Amino acid sequence: MASLGDNSISPLDDLPLSDLRNIWFQHDGSSPHKVSSVQQYIRDTFQQQVIGYGGCVEWPPRSPDLNPLDFFMWEYIKQRVYATPPPTLQELKNRITDTCASVSPAMLYNVQREVQSRVEMCIVAEAHHFEHDR
pLDDT in tens, 25-73: 777 777 887 888 988 888 888 888 888 777 878 776 667 777 787 788 8
* Residue 50: exposure state from Cβ atoms within 10 A (0-12, 13-18, ≥19): buried
Cβ(107)–Cβ(115) below 8 Å? no
Q: What are phi and psi of 53, to 5 degrees?
A: -45, 120
pLDDT reading at 24 higher than 90: no
Q: How far apart are CA 123 and CA 117, in angstroms?
A: 10
Alpha helices, H only, the chain: 17-20, 36-46, 68, 74-81, 89-101, 105-124
Distances (CA, A) of 48 to 12, 13, 74, 110: 16, 18, 26, 26
pLDDT at 54: 77
Higher pLDDT, 10 or 72: 72
pTM of the model: 0.51
pLDDT at 4: 46
Q: How far apart are CA 79 and CA 104, in angstroms?
A: 16
pLDDT at 92: 94
